[in-house]
Structure 1
Amino acid sequence: MARAHAANACVQSDSIKGLAQSIAKPAYTRLLTAEPALRRAVPTLIIAFLVTICLGAFVQVIDQTRQKRATMKRDIAALADILADRLDRLTASRQERAATIDRLQNILPGLIPSWGSASGRHVIVIGSNQRILARVPVQAGVEPDRILDVISTAQLLATPSGQQGSVTDLILPSGSSAMATQRVIKSMPGQIIVIQEKNEPIWGSDAALSVTLSATTGFVVLILGFAFHWQSTRAREGDLINDAVRGRIDTALNRGRCGLWDWDLSRGRIFWSQSMFTMLGLESRNDLLTFGEVNALVNSDDIDLFAIADRLISGEIDHIDQSFRMQHAGGHWIWLRVRCELSSGAADAGLHLIGIAVDVTEQKSLAEKTVEADLRLRDAIETIPEAFVLWDAEDRLVLCNSHFQRLHKLPDSAVTPGTSYETVIEVGRMPEVRTRLHGAANQAPGARTFEAQLEEGNWLHISERRTKDGGYVSVGTDITRIKEHEQKLVDNDLRLRATVADLQRSQSALERQAVELADLAQKYAEEKNRAEDANQAKSKFLANMSHELRTPLNAIIGFSEIMGSGMFGTLGSDKYGEYCNDILTSGRYLLEVINDILDMSKIEAGRMKLDMEPLDLSRTLAESLRVVSGRAEDKHLTLRADIESTISVVADHRAVKQIIVNLLSNAVKFTPDDGKVEVRGRMLRDSIVLMIADTGIGIAPESLRRLGKPFEQVESQLTKSYQGSGLGLAIARSLTDLHGGTMKLRSKLGTGTVVRVTLPLDASKAKPRVQQAA
């Protein structure tokens, strides 16, 4: 049971995917493929992103600390160099040196630049005896010569003389760290020392900002990750609900023998529900169907999808309600009634024809049986010796037999179904009622029986009975002889009683017969209404057929050429190019078939008009040879033309070219590879003769008589190996006859075929010939 549910869920999911593809375009397929991987990759990406942020913040704090330490070292080194240089200039002479040393504590603050008096920075000048000569700032309560003990002179003086310009890290007696550098004063025995206390963390504010930003970013990313997880869970729950709803819809469609259609008119793609594949016995698919696949299953005699698509796109109609046949996988036909309405959605900027298709094969079978029953009923009514007539609830004629028409001398126009009772009375001869019989006890309500006499003296026994739909049926029996017997047997009571008894028995039989006929008439009326509905649907379909078949097909061919050539960009996959080529090839082939059918219909209807003009037959032949040269080269055929250089005729250029192209196409088609096709032309006194010979498969004698007729082919539909509608030779023969010429065929199986076409030099003066069999 669990496996069955899993399989059903999979089918329902495929059905939903197919419907989603008609709305979300092919990108939806790629999304369905990548969605599980994306769902698993998002948490990993979030964790990687958070780790990257933490590492970046740590590296940034370390870099900021390093940069601040380097800046502080550069500052105190520069300050020491400046002070050493200034003291050297002040103590350049011996007299100035002594005065400067005495006043050094007062002079030193003025020598320090404004940027050198930073917080926690000490400047000390010591003599050669390591005594402090001056210092900035001056600390209250501390002896000047004791300051080196306070700042750990041993650490400061540990620097080698060769490294006087370097900055040294040291630990103050208070336990705090500091940086110090010293410079030798050249003009006086002594040194200048610059000490920078680290009274605050070097990385404090910037590091806090970086950590705060990193933590905030990480928190936001985590929130987004949780939101994605929640949304993904909601999406999975929505998919499960959608699968359940879709499963119920598919179950209802399967049980009701109907299917869902979604026809994307803009792209020529069609979605079918699973029930449609089941009705047609086809294997279920989750991808979209092409227009060609669906059109190949439709019976072209019932409906033309090209014309309907053109009318829908042009806005002539906005819905369809038609019945047509589609081919079952088993080979038989299924009748479907399609009810669809045009719709355009915001998510898909194209037009969609959405609706359902219901299997009405049983109804069609019942309609055929109804027609058969109607014919049988008419035959039965016609064979009874009584005058029978059936009226509907509105007193309109439904059915009558020839006895009723002949009895009342009615014309054929007055006995057509639907004729009113008043019209029948006006144009016919109604009998005069002489005797009205009272109803018997077992007579049905609404029934009546009476006798009527015609003008020539004949008597009728008329029995009428109301039908269930409000009409009534009437049966008239000729009782003229009975009346004569009544007059003759007036004096003989016994014989009269016997005759009356016979009449009563006959009357009872007639009444029973009238009841049976009324039931038959009612069934006939019901079946007739169904048949009329079916006939009306067929009439609507036939009204939609026109020569506009070419319009949508030309659009398909044009768009497939544009898509195949990549005029507006590549399609993205080589398969699309192959499909476009298949669509183009099939469209051109179908256009040729449609053109042949329309040309043949014009010829048979007598609407083909020829435009006679002077033309060079040799040039026309050369153009025709170029048309078939490509196919001949593919089959390695040898094309030879032996015709006089100039042959002038008066004929229709298009028709003559079509004759030659059709005959050459047949020759190339039915000639095996490495064969030969020859064309010879000669001009006689008042006509020209074209001979087209090939080394093809040949034609059997019994089949040769059928060729040249519309839709006739040598091979059957089950064994044919060559494509074609079978109209090429028929069109060529008909166009030849319209020019007043003749066409004859001579062929032998396995040897080849020779076609001889004779055309008058001036077809405008020739009379069209009656088409004859070859």
Structure 2
Amino acid sequence: MLTTERSDGAAKGFRATQKVSTNPTISQKRTFTFSNFKSIFLISPDVQFENAKTLIALLVVAAAIFFSSDFELPVRAAIGLGATVTAFAFFRLVHLSSEIAQETVEPNVLHDTLEHMPHGLAHWGANAQLIWCNRAYRDLMGLEKTNAEQGTSYSDIMSEATNPITFDAHKDNQNHRLVIAKCADDKTIRIEDISDPAHNFVTVITDCTDHFKATRAKKKLEQQYRELAKQYHAEKLAAETASRSKTSFLAHLSHDMRTPLNHIIGFADLVQHEPYGPLGDKRYGNYIADIKRSGESLLASFAAILDLAQLEGGETVQNNQDVDMYKFVQQSLRRHTARATRAGLKLEAQNICDSHVEADPALLRRMIDNLMDNAIRFTQDGGSIVLNCWCGSDGVVLEVTDSGIGMPKERLELLSQPFILGEAAFSKEHSGLGLGIATSRAIAELSNGSLVIDSNPGIGTTVAITLPTKSEDSTLEKAA
């Protein structure tokens, strides 16, 4: 700890703050008085009041004797003087005892307060000998009370202490030293020595176990967070790379397949017209028609794959215009009314708002067509389909709601992915690839919107698309 070789033994610092007198004459006098009259402290106020009444009565009797003519003047004078001296001595004794009681009680209160503090405190003299220490100091240092008595040297205290076992000095100046130490019972304590100019010094010990455990736990969590962030970043890059690879593969596959399909469709159409003479058997004409029909279907599928790849890759060129949502919804209803009627379905619009969005009309039309196609396909005869358009303060919501077969919640999480079909798709004849929802989602996100699906088996499905409304700033820019 701190060195104290240059101390001169002056009573300053922590010892002086306790108002402990260092004058031997006063100490002896007060000790003598206290030892002779300590029973005064035990006298209750009622007893003191009775004694005072007795003393007053004694003074009255002495005064009566002094003024009485039955006694000689010297006798009366002696009795009066004796009574006066006795009264003065009594009152002086009571006053002195109260002063001694006050000076004795205050240090005891301070001592009890410091003794029960949770922090370890020790006061050392200029010759590095212990003046006083509290119970917390002994407990934290692993000392018995007999090993930490007044006058014990600092070196003896350190040799008897079982704590701490390791030290980590954080500050070591001439008058101030700070050490973080590890104890044998796995506690972490903070030992601080503070010296005054007279080279007396005070040791303050604080139990910092909880603080350091929390600090270590925080560092561990931060390390885990950094590792998870690093892992997330790596996985995100891998997912983006895989997505780009998938998009590139689909684009190249679609492009490479469309060329031979165009040849197949073209030659099938040529053979079907028999420019170089009849084919012979009429069944050949039916075969050629099937070849052409299959080629056109396959070409449409590859075209849808290429469109999705371009949308997800951000390669689709948008031709944004001012789209009137009221007219857009009305046109969508007219396009699908005939097909819904043939399927025995009721198609209507319960709410159409009068708002405008900034988007590509062709992409919006393809998005709504995909959703309406799914709704008509998976709704039984006698069902209904509702196309709504809701206006909000910052956007427009397009809703396609059907009373179809619906789907479970776990299936919804996969439905927005390409080539994922609902379970009912396998029970009906259709030529879809499961790209309708994925394409609609890509168009909504490309238009700065989003797509949400809610469905319940046997009740129906609702697909909601949010689109931002046209801002006034863009309108002013175009007008300028």
TM-score after normalising by structure 2: 0.40
TM-score after normalising by structure 1: 0.26
CA radius of gyration, larger in: 1
More contact order relative to length (CA 8 Å, sep ≥ 6): 2
